[in-house]
């Protein structure tokens, strides 16, 4: 019957369209396996959205690694605090999110070789002259972001310095809280806060010595993804050797 032929044709067209849509996923362009990549898109210069596209150091790095090692990637943006739980729940294969390599996290995930040096800074409103170190935080409010090394540092030192902790799900909300005076200080990775202050003219400044030093790594669920981790490390090394790693960094961070 004509009606059925038409219906079958329509169905076939829909199936083809759906298949095309799939292959348009963000990818390294290879033919290899596809991996779900967790990202925190509120974290410039590492990951952010510009004109509806994901961009930043981490985004460029993982895309270049995927291309180099011939695998596909599919970005899954989420709050940073949700990323490790999502790896554990098998909703992600890999995470790149300005994530610091820590011993605590190594219990749950395997990290790639380190790809960036970071660490925490104390940040206050630009016109604040009372706070220059942790010693000045008695009775103050410290804003942190859930699930981060900053949040952990704040908890570890809360009893000693006698401040209150106020928790946020993303960095921009945390920055806002201090610039509008609702919290006195915040803790953030210094490359991130330096970029935010320079790029968005936030009325914030860093004070004192850097509180910690750490390194970013790309994470996969512990013991589950050795093959992927090997590809990531191999790709990272090739990007370093070819100079592409430096090119990516220079694109976002002025020397
Ligand atoms: N580097 C910090 C951490 O690993 C913050 C990461 C982030 O906020 N995306 O906890």
pTM, to two decimals? 0.87
Q: How confident is the model at residue 201 (pLDDT cuts 50, 70, 90)?
A: confident
Sign of CA dihedral 226, 227, 228, 231: positive
Q: What pLDDT does 140 receive? A: 98
Tell how far the Cα of 158 is from the centroid of ligand 1, in angstroms.
19
Q: What pLDDT does 21 receive? A: 45
Nearest atom of ligand 1 to the alpha carbon of 97: 9
Mutate to test the pocket of ligand 1, among 41, 46, 149, 152 (most ligand atoms within 8 A of CB): 149
Mutate to test the pocket of ligand 1, among 120, 145, 168 (most ligand atoms within 8 A of CB): 145
Q: How confident is the model at residue 228 (pLDDT cuts 50, 70, 90)?
A: very high
The backbone torsions φ and ψ at residue 52, rounded to the nearest 5 degrees and listed phi first, read 75, 10
Nearest atom of ligand 1 to the alpha carbon of 171: 8
Query: Model confidence over 109-149: pLDDT tens digits?
Result: 999 999 999 999 999 999 999 999 999 999 999 999 999 99
Cα–Cα distance measured from residue 40 to residue 97, given in angstroms and rounded to the nearest whole number: 5
Q: To the nearest 10°, the Cα dihedral for 85, 90, 95, 100?
A: 40
Query: Model confidence over 87-116: pLDDT tens digits?
Result: 999 999 999 999 999 999 999 999 999 999
């Amino acid at each position: 019957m004509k009606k059925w032929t038409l219906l079958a044709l329509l169905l076939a067209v829909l199936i083809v369209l759906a298949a095309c849509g799939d292959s348009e996923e963000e990818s390294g362009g290879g033919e290899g396996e596809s991996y779900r990549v967790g990202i925190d898109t509120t974290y410039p210069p590492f990951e952010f959205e510009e004109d509806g596209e994901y961009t930043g150091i981490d985004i460029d790095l993982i895309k270049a690694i995927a291309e180099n090692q011939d695998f596909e990637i599919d970005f899954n943006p989420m709050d940073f605090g949700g990323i490790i739980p999502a790896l554990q729940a098998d909703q992600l294969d890999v995470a790149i999110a300005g994530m610091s390599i820590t011993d605590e996290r190594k219990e749950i995930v395997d990290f790639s070789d380190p790809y960036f040096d970071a660490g925490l800074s104390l940040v206050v409103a630009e016109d604040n002259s009372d706070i220059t170190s942790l010693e000045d935080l008695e009775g103050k409010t410290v804003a942190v972001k859930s699930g981060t090394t900053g949040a952990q540092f704040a908890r570890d030192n809360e009893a000693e310095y006698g401040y209150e902790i106020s928790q946020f799900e993303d960095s921009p909300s945390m920055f806002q809280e201090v610039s509008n005076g609702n919290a006195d200080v915040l803790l953030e990775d210094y490359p991130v806060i330096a970029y935010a202050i320079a790029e968005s003219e936030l009325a914030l400044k860093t004070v004192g010595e850097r509180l910690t030093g750490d390194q970013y790594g790309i994470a996969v669920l512990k013991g589950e993804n050795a093959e992927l981790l090997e590809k990531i490390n191999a790709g990272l090394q090739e990007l370093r050797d070819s100079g592409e790693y430096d090119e990516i960094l220079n694109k976002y961070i002025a020397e």
